A and B are shown apart, each in its own frame.
Chain A
Amino acid sequence: AQSVSQHNHHVILSEAASLELGCNYSYGGTVNLFWYVQYPGQHLQLLLKYFSGDPLVKGIKGFEAEFIKSKFSFNLRKPSVQWSDTAEYFCAVNANSNDYKLSFGAGTTVTVRA
């Protein structure tokens, strides 16, 4: 079955530490890939997206992600986290060009300790 997997359920780290969140998908064919962030009590906001071209994409707030087609992966990274990065992070895939529905991973809760 088609799915989106996020490997880490909860990540706890200190400020200035580096962050990497894993995301794998099982869809064949062309996909559009996204990372969304949900701060406590807020709606989902787009961090970054990959449609085509350079597999290393840069998003807002210093985040970047790398698309590795051979590994069906789209991992999210940030070299140095801040306390304000505490949030839930969702990987999402759009695998159908006829509709724009997104399939989400289960999410990773990131807690950054000051």
Chain B
Amino acid sequence: DSGVTQTPKHLITATGQRVTLRCSPRSGDLSVYWYQQSLDQGLQFLIQYYNGEERAKGNILERFSAQQFPDLHSELNLSSLELGDSALYFCASSGDRGPDGYTFGSGTRLTVV
């Protein structure tokens, strides 16, 4: 157990639907990062939140959004899902030690059918 908790572990949904992925960071970590891992794109950075505020944005589609709540957990919302959104979505957290303290969760495997 890395200390970063992601739920659910698996998710199967239909095209056009909306899902929410949840991430609880390691205790004390203020930053949460979302990554998408797919066979054709590899590991892509989506978005980073730090203490409730968006800090960096990567290749995140407009259909996707995220937020970080006061208790520091984060949610990634994926809407109008397409087959190509099927991927493993990882969350990572870090403290003020920056990338030195990066810890990944086990991921949520999303399958869009």
* Chain A residues with a Cβ under 8 A of chain B: 32, 34, 36, 42-46, 49, 51, 90, 94, 96, 98-107
Contact = CB atoms under 8 A, between A and B. Distances in A.
B42 A100 contact: no
Interface stretch (B11-19, B68-76, B78-86, B104-112): B104-112
A51 B102 CA distance: 14
Interface residues of B, number: 24
A104 B42 contact: yes
Given A100-B102, A101-B48, A104-B35, 18 more contacts: A34-B99, A36-B104, A42-B106, A43-B90, A45-B2, A49-B100, A94-B98, A94-B99, A96-B56, A100-B33, A100-B98, A101-B33, A101-B45, A102-B45, A102-B102, A103-B45, A104-B43, A104-B44
**Residue of A45, A104, A105 with highest tally of chain B CB at under 10 A:** A104
Interface in B3-17: 4
B50 to A, nearest CB: 8
8 interchain residue pairs of minimum CB distance? A104-B43, A99-B56, A44-B104, A100-B98, A43-B104, A94-B99, A106-B42, A43-B106
A43 B43 CA distance: 12
B31 A100 contact: yes
12 contacts: A42-B106, A43-B90, A44-B92, A45-B104, A46-B102, A94-B98, A100-B98, A101-B33, A101-B58, A104-B43, A104-B44, A104-B45
